[in-house]
């Protein structure tokens, strides 16, 4: 049987979620890095794999799947992973699905907007940072972080229950994008701070390995754009 292939860019938050999950669970796979910055997602070869020109994508012995959430769920089912990642119990599983439904507009959107506005757009279009747009993204990101603090983490150690699930892996990778853009995730949010520490610890050393490219960007921001 051909090995699983993962097409990813380490600068992409959903790519990192899948990469991290594979590494943390020692699932064998072949790395196919697609560097978005270089336009490698727009080649004819990649468009045949994903006509939507997005990463991540997996090719599991000819079964091609896009969308990070679908990929994580597929890996849980096809690799018979420990139950805590995506519980079998109907209600516990529904909590994970509930979070994934919520995160698209509430977590993914503000975090991506923040990073895009501060990092990608100025470089791509050679323009200064749009401060008004950045402010809107920051307000929205703070609302989301407060909801993580006061709703999801109010009575439990992980986002969807008492043990780590694929929702935690996905969410922390998305949040790291905002962190790299210099957004303060934890001040006044002790539960979010503890949760980040807890999830990272569960996923080390792979967490730092998968985030090394992003950490370099975060350092650059801290030196050059700390005032924004
Ligand atoms: N909902 C998708 C989002 C995938 C996505 O937007 N990927 C971005 C990188 S973070 C991408 O490949 N963008 C390139 C493009 O849209 O051309 C998922 O979770 O997998």
ipTM, 2 dp: 0.98
Nearest to 134 by CA among 16, 221, 47, 209: 221
14 CB near ligand 1 (under 6 Å): yes
Residue 80 CB neighbours (<10 A)? 7
Which of 36, 51, 54, 113 to mutate for ligand 1's pocket (most ligand atoms within 8 Å of CB)?
A: 54
| Sequence-ordered alpha helix ranges (H) in 44-165 | 44-49, 68-78, 90-103, 109-115, 121-125, 131-147
What is the per-residue pLDDT for 158?
98
55 CB near ligand 1 (under 6 Å): yes
Gap from CA of 154 to ligand 1 centroid (Å): 31
Contacts of residue 111, defined as CB under 8 A and 6 or more positions apart, other chains included, come to 13, 141, 144, 174, 175, 177, 178
Look up residue 138 and give its two tokens: 């920051």
10 CB near ligand 1 (under 6 Å): no
148 CB near ligand 1 (under 6 Å): no
Nearest to 179 by CA among 150, 206, 207, 158: 207
What is the per-residue pLDDT for 226?
66
Look up residue 144 and give its two tokens: 């989301």
Give the residue whose CA is nearest to atom 9 of ligand 1: 12
What is the per-residue pLDDT for 1?
63
Q: Are 16 and 176 in contact (CB under 8 A)?
A: yes
Q: Which residues of 205-217 are buried (b: 16+ CB within 10 A; e: fewer)?
A: ebbeebbeebeeb
What is the per-residue pLDDT for 124?
87
Which of 12, 21, 213 to mutate for ligand 1's pocket (most ligand atoms within 8 Å of CB)?
A: 12
Give the residue whose CA is nearest to atom 8 of ligand 1: 54
pLDDT tens series, the chain, 228 aa: 679 999 999 999 999 999 999 999 999 999 999 999 999 999 999 999 999 999 999 999 999 999 999 999 999 999 989 999 999 999 999 999 999 999 999 999 999 999 999 988 998 899 999 999 999 999 999 999 999 999 999 999 999 999 999 999 999 999 999 999 999 999 999 999 999 999 999 999 999 999 999 999 888 877 877 667
Reported as type and span, the H/E element at residue 16 is: helix 13-24
111 CB near ligand 1 (under 6 Å): no
Measured CA to CA, the distance from residue 203 to residue 196 in angstroms comes to 11
What is the per-residue pLDDT for 21?
98
Q: Are 81 and 25 in contact (CB under 8 A)?
A: yes
Contacts of residue 164, defined as CB under 8 A and 6 or more positions apart, other chains included, come to 84, 85, 158, 199, 202
Looking at ligand 1, which atom is closest to the CA of residue 55? 12
DSSP 85: G
User: 66 phi and psi, to 5 degrees?
Assistant: -110, 180
């Amino acid at each position: 049987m051909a090995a699983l292939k993962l097409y990813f860019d380490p600068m992409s938050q959903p790519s990192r979620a899948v990469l991290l999950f594979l590494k943390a669970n020692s699932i064998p796979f072949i790395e196919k890095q697609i560097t978005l910055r270089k336009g490698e997602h727009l080649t004819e070869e990649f468009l045949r794999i994903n006509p939507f020109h997005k990463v991540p994508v997996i090719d599991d012995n000819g079964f091609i799947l896009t969308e990070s959430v679908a990929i994580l769920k597929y890996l849980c089912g096809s690799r018979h992973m420990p139950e805590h990642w995506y519980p079998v119990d109907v209600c516990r599983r529904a909590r994970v699905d509930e979070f994934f439904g919520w995160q698209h507009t509430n977590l993914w959107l503000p975090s991506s907007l923040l990073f895009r506005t501060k990092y990608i757009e100025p470089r791509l279009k050679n323009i200064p940072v749009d401060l008004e747009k950045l402010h809107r993204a920051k307000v929205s990101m703070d609302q989301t972080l407060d909801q993580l603090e006061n709703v999801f983490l109010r009575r439990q150690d992980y986002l969807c229950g008492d043990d780590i699930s694929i929702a935690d892996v996905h969410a922390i990778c998305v949040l790291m994008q905002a962190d790299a853009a210099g957004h303060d995730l934890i001040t006044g949010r002790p539960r979010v701070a503890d949760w980040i520490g807890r999830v990272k610890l569960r996923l080390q050393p792979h967490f730092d390995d998968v985030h090394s490219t992003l950490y370099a960007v975060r350092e650059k921001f801290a030196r050059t754009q700390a005032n924004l």
